[in-house]
């Protein structure tokens, strides 16, 4: 067994070398001083020099990345096992009461809720402070970056109690009517209770602005919930129909079951009946239509005493204001699903539609000055960009922006 | 350790000493891949390396220690992982000797291990660029570049046409370029992604 210890190596120096090697790999210019530091390291040992040379050859970097990827693929599974073993092996000399406290779900989710409240307070204070200096024109690049949204939601249980869901915590969230609700890698799933059937109970998962979320319904159907949306469903479906109520936008992959039709109700106007299929429903109340887009299978749509059956690639638009139902062929389905795949797809999209998407994802409020030219955009943008980066890309068009706290002003 | 640290250093070190589950989840996210990569490079057995990294983190949980600095904590985890990896090699050699009477492998030198720590940390930084890609592009990079899946099979697995796959690959490269261009970009690094 070796006796020397890595704690004795210079952590700060190692860190510096790692960053210098990275900088050089991506092509950033090194200062003379940085280059000298790196050279010192290279000359320290033949092994260092060998690594330096390997980083200059594509095949060896490729192989290194593949090794890392192979490790990363097993990571989530291994992490779940690791966390489970932590729970099984509390340290002996901890007080029993304390272990109980840390392992208690109520404690953990209360802590999460307190954190969320704390953040809300910070934002509130921040905005108030902003508000004290009206009329100041801060250039976009100088404003504090507004981070993109992320995974997260609020689960409302049958008794009205609420649980904050985020990707940080894995494990059992609650029990409902005998079914256990489990959070795994940011996705919520129901493990049915078996024969334990009581009265039907309903759960609601809702996302605020700036959050999206995935869940698996009790029948195995998968749902991706976009920001500012909610879905209501029973904790166990009965054997006549599977009915859910949607507000906002969601993409569904319905588990096939011909005997028990799956139904999505949006508002009073629209009901979607499906057998086993993949489709997206956009039912935001601030959009002018409820749009159902079919990717695979078949769905039947009921609205205003009409019914249509959609084929893959078709989109039905229900316009409540006009009591109208229309069907469009050959929809760009990739564009419809861009939100789920981590993108904004602004191809041929009007400015107000673009802004409504930004409002939901960055949790901002948008106001317009007079005289905005009718503009249509093009192209895709990564949803992981900060708001400022997205605006900078959009400014290539005829519009300009000013940011005041979380209020965005669109100017000609 | 490169990367974003959401905890203040002092707070993290205190929470680790207190066996706070959330702090250990964070510790896992920060170190697991790096430690497995490090161990795997020594013992060349991924499953064993995964076990060794997990055991190192568990060992800390079982006898929590209050470290003076993040660097000390990191050094401690690397040391645990190195010792376990070298023990495993020794164990392997003993078994080989008894059956085959040969011992091909030598203990890796201290110099090699020190370089390996740097390499393991560096991989984490590089991989972050791929992780930042939107899902639909990342899928393409993962299949074609990281798993070496043939194009036709990749398209079939993603349920898209070959044309569509080509498009996404092109866009993925464009996206990486635009991210990296902000940094200056070396042709060599980009050539990695012209798979």
Task: Collapse the DSSP code of A258 into the 3-class scheme (helix H, G, I; strand E, B; otherwise coil) and give the result.
Answer: coil
Residues 6+ apart with CB under 8 A from B112: A47
Residue B7 pLDDT exceeds 80: no
The answer to whether the CB of A290 falls within 8 A of the CB of A320 is: yes
Determine, for residues A74 and B171 on separate chains, whether the beta-carbon distance falls below 8 Å.
no
Q: In the beta sheet, which residues pair with residue A212?
A: A151
Alpha helix ranges (H) inside A27-104: 32-44, 46-54, 58-73, 75-88, 96-103
Q: Measured between alpha carbons, how far is A332 from A366 in angstroms, rounded to an integer?
A: 27
**What pLDDT does residue B57 have?**
94
Q: What whole-number percentage of chain A has pLDDT above 90?
A: 28
How sure is the predictor about B38, in pLDDT bands with cuts at 50, 70 and 90? Answer: very high
How sure is the predictor about A90, in pLDDT bands with cuts at 50, 70 and 90? Answer: low
**What pLDDT does residue A246 have?**
94
How sure is the predictor about B26, in pLDDT bands with cuts at 50, 70 and 90? Answer: confident
Q: In the beta sheet, which residues pair with residue A196?
A: none
Element (H, E) at A115: helix A105-131
**b/e per residue B91-112 (b: at least 16 CB within 10 A):** eebeeeeeeeeeeeeeebeeeb
How sure is the predictor about B51, in pLDDT bands with cuts at 50, 70 and 90? Answer: very high
Answer whether A67 touches B (CB < 8 Å).
yes
From A18-27, A115-124, A136-145, the region with the lowest mean pLDDT: A115-124
**What pLDDT does residue B41 have?**
94
Long-range contacts, stretch A165-168, CB < 8 angstroms, 24+ apart: A165/A205, A165/A213, A166/A112, A168/A112, A168/B22, A168/B25
Q: Measured between alpha carbons, how far is A131 from B129 in angstroms, rounded to an integer?
A: 37
The mean per-residue pLDDT over the stretch B101-107 comes to: 53
The answer to whether the CB of B113 falls within 8 A of the CB of A4 is: no
CA A380, A386, A389, A390 dihedral sign is positive
Answer whether B79 touches A (CB < 8 Å).
yes
How sure is the predictor about A116, in pLDDT bands with cuts at 50, 70 and 90? Answer: very low
- Predicted confidence (pLDDT) per residue in B56-69, tens digit: 999 999 888 888 88
Number of cross-chain residue pairs from A and B with Cβ atoms under 8 Å apart: 200
Q: Which residues of chain A are within 8 Å of residue B124 when distances are taken between CB atoms?
A: 68
**What pLDDT does residue A129 have?**
36
**What pLDDT does residue A69 have?**
92
The answer to whether the CB of A215 falls within 8 A of the CB of A206 is: no
Alpha helix ranges (H) inside chain B: 9-17, 21-43, 46-62, 70-100, 110-131, 135-141, 151-158, 162-181, 187-193
From A378-382, B20-24, B63-67, the region with the lowest mean pLDDT: A378-382
Answer whether B189 touches A (CB < 8 Å).
yes
Residue A277 pLDDT exceeds 90: no
How sure is the predictor about A229, in pLDDT bands with cuts at 50, 70 and 90? Answer: very high
Answer whether A2 touches B (CB < 8 Å).
yes
SS3 of B136-179: the string is HHHHHHHHHHHCCCCHHHHHHHHCCCHHHHHHHHHHHHHHHHHH
Q: In the beta sheet, which residues pair with residue A291?
A: A282, A317
Which residue has better confidence, A264 or B8?
Answer: A264
Gap from B101 CA to chain A (nearest CA, Å): 23
Q: Which residues of chain B are within 8 Å of residue A150 when distances are taken between CB atoms?
A: none
**What pLDDT does residue A182 have?**
80
Strands A211-216 and A187-191: parallel
The mean per-residue pLDDT over the stretch B160-181 comes to: 77
Nearest CA to A385 among B195, B56, B178?
Answer: B178
Q: Where are the beta strands (DSSP E) in A81-228?
A: 150-151, 153-156, 162-165, 171-176, 179-184, 187-191, 202-207, 211-216, 222-225
CA A177, A182, A188, A191 dihedral sign is negative
The mean per-residue pLDDT over the stretch A297-304 comes to: 88
From A252-256, B57-61, B102-106, the region with the lowest mean pLDDT: B102-106
Determine, for residues A45 and B145 on separate chains, whether the beta-carbon distance falls below 8 Å.
no
- Main-chain phi, psi angles of B127, to 5 degrees: -65, -25
**What pLDDT does residue A196 have?**
54
Q: Is the ipTM of this complex over 0.85?
A: yes
Determine, for residues B118 and A25 on separate chains, whether the beta-carbon distance falls below 8 Å.
no
The mean per-residue pLDDT over the stretch B16-40 comes to: 91
The mean per-residue pLDDT over the stretch A189-213 comes to: 79
The mean per-residue pLDDT over the stretch A78-95 comes to: 68
How sure is the predictor about B21, in pLDDT bands with cuts at 50, 70 and 90? Answer: confident
Q: Measured between alpha carbons, how far is A390 from A412 in angstroms, rounded to an integer?
A: 17
**What pLDDT does residue B96 have?**
58
Q: Which residues of chain A are within 8 Å of residue B112 when distances are taken between CB atoms?
A: 47
From A339-348, A401-410, B166-175, the region with the lowest mean pLDDT: B166-175
Question: pLDDT averaged over chain A?
Answer: 80
Q: Measured between alpha carbons, how far is A261 from A254 in angstroms, rounded to an integer?
A: 10
Strands A262-265 and A242-253: parallel
Q: In the beta sheet, which residues pair with residue A290?
A: A318
**What pLDDT does residue A20 have?**
92
Residue A379 pLDDT exceeds 80: no
Long-range contacts, stretch A44-51, CB < 8 angstroms, 24+ apart: A45/B111, A45/B114, A45/B115, A46/B111, A47/B109, A47/B111, A47/B112, A47/B114, A47/B115, A48/B111, A48/B115, A48/B118, A50/B115, A51/B115, A51/B118, A51/B119
Per mean pLDDT, which of A119-123, A159-163, A278-282 is the most reliable? A278-282
How sure is the predictor about A382, in pLDDT bands with cuts at 50, 70 and 90? Answer: confident
Domains and CATH numbers, chain B: 1-126 (no CATH), 132-195 (1.10.10.10)
Answer whether B193 touches A (CB < 8 Å).
no
Residue B113 pLDDT exceeds 50: yes
Q: Domain boundaries in chain A?
A: 10-73, 151-336, 343-411
**What pLDDT does residue A366 have?**
92
CATH of A343-411, one of 2.30.140.10, 3.55.50.30, 3.40.50.1100, 3.40.630.30: 3.55.50.30
The mean per-residue pLDDT over the stretch B149-167 comes to: 87
**What pLDDT does residue A179 have?**
75
Determine, for residues B192 and A61 on separate chains, whether the beta-carbon distance falls below 8 Å.
yes
From A60-74, A106-120, A328-342, the region with the lowest mean pLDDT: A106-120
**What pLDDT does residue B179 have?**
62
Residue A123 pLDDT exceeds 80: no
- Among chain A residues, CA nearest to B58: A86
What percent of chain A is helix, strand and coil (3-state, nearest 5)? 35, 30, 35
Element (H, E) at A18: helix A11-26
Q: List the Cα angle A389/B135/A210 in 5-degree steps.
A: 55
Residue A17 pLDDT exceeds 70: yes
Nearest CA to A224 among A258, A260, A242, A248?
Answer: A248
**What pLDDT does residue B129 have?**
76
Q: What whole-number percentage of chain B has pLDDT above 70?
A: 79
Nearest CA to A385 among A342, A336, A351?
Answer: A342
**What pLDDT does residue A102 have?**
34
How sure is the predictor about B120, in pLDDT bands with cuts at 50, 70 and 90? Answer: very high
From A100-114, A233-247, B159-173, the region with the lowest mean pLDDT: A100-114
Residue B32 pLDDT exceeds 70: yes
Q: Which of A3, A8, A26, A341 has the highest number of chain B CBs within 10 A, making it the mutation to test binding with B? A: A26
**What pLDDT does residue B106 have?**
64
A405: left (phi over 0), alpha (psi -120 to 50) or beta: left
The mean per-residue pLDDT over the stretch B142-164 comes to: 87
Question: pLDDT averaged over chain B?
Answer: 81
CATH code of domain A151-336 = 2.60.120.1440
How sure is the predictor about B132, in pLDDT bands with cuts at 50, 70 and 90? Answer: confident
**Count of CA atoms in the C-beta half-sphere (13 A) of A46:** 1
Both tokens of B96, joined, read 């080989």
Q: Measured between alpha carbons, how far is B43 from B190 in angstroms, rounded to an integer?
A: 31
Burial label, B14 (beta-carbon count in 10 A; 0-12, 13-18, 19+): middle
């Amino acid at each position: 067994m070796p006796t020397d210890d890595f704690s004795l190596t210079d952590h700060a120096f190692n860190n510096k070398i790692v960053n210098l090697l990275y900088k050089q790999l991506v092509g950033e210019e090194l200062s003379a001083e940085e280059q000298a530091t790196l050279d010192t390291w290279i000359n320290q040992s033949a092994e260092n020099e060998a690594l330096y040379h390997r980083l200059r050859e594509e095949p060896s970097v490729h192989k290194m990345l593949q090794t890392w990827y192979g490790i990363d693929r097993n990571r989530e599974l291994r992490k779940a096992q690791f966390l489970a073993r932590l729970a099984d092996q509390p340290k002996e000399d901890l007080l029993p009461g304390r272990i109980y406290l840390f392992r208690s779900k109520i404690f953990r989710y209360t802590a999460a809720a307190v954190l969320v409240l704390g953040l809300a307070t910070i934002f509130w204070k921040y905005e108030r402070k902003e508000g004290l200096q009206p009329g100041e024109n801060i250039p976009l690049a100088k404003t504090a970056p507004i981070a993109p949204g992320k995974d997260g939601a609020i689960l409302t249980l049958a008794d009205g109690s609420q649980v904050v869901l985020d990707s940080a915590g894995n494990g059992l969230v609650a029990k409902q009517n005998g079914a256990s609700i489990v959070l795994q890698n940011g996705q919520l799933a129901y493990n049915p209770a078996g024969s334990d059937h009581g009265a039907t109970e309903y759960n609601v998962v809702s996302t605020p602005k700036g959050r999206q979320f995935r869940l698996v319904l009790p029948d195995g159907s998968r749902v991706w919930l976009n920001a500012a949306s909610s879905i209501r469903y029973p904790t166990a479906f009965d054997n006549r129909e599977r009915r859910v109520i949607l507000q906002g936008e969601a993409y569904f992959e319905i588990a096939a079951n011909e005997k028990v039709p799956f139904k999505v109700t949006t508002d009073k106007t629209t009901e979607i009946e499906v057998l086993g299929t993949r489709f997206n429903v956009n039912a935001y109340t601030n959009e002018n239509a409820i749009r159902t887009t079919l990717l695979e299978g078949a769905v039947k749509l009921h609205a205003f005493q009409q019914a249509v059956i959609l084929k893959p690639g078709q989109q039905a638009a229900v316009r409540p204001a006009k009591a109208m139902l229309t069907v469009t062929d050959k929809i760009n389905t990739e564009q419809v699903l861009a939100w789920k795949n981590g993108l904004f797809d602004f191809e041929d999209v009007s400015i107000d539609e673009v802004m409504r998407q930004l409002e939901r994802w960055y949790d901002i409020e948008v106001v317009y000055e007079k005289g905005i030219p009718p503009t249509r955009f093009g192209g895709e943008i990564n949803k992981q960009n900060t708001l400022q980066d997205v605006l900078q890309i959009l400014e290539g068009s005829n519009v300009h922006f000013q940011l005041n706290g979380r209020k965005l002003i669109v100017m000609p | 350790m490169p990367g974003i640290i959401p905890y203040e250093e002092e707070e993290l070190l205190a929470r680790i000493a207190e066996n706070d589950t959330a702090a250990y989840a964070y510790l896992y996210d920060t170190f697991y891949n790096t430690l497995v990569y490090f161990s795997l490079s020594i013992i060349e057995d991924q499953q064993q390396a995964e076990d060794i990294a997990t055991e190192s983190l568990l060992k800390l949980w079982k006898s929590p220690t209050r470290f003076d600095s993040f660097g000390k904590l990191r050094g401690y985890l690397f040391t645990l992982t190195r010792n376990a990896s070298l023990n495993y090699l020794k164990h392997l050699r003993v078994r080989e000797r008894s059956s085959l009477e040969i011992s091909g492998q030598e203990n890796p030198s201290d110099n090699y291990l020190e370089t390996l720590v740097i390499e393991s940390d560096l991989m984490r930084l590089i991989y972050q660029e791929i992780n930042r890609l939107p899902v639909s592009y990342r899928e393409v990079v993962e299949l074609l570049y990281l798993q070496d899946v043939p194009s036709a099979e990749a398209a079939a697995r993603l349920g898209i046409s070959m044309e569509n796959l080509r498009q996404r690959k092109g866009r993925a490269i464009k996206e990486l370029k635009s991210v990296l261009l902000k940094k200056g970009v070396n042709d060599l690094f980009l050539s990695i992604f012209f798979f």
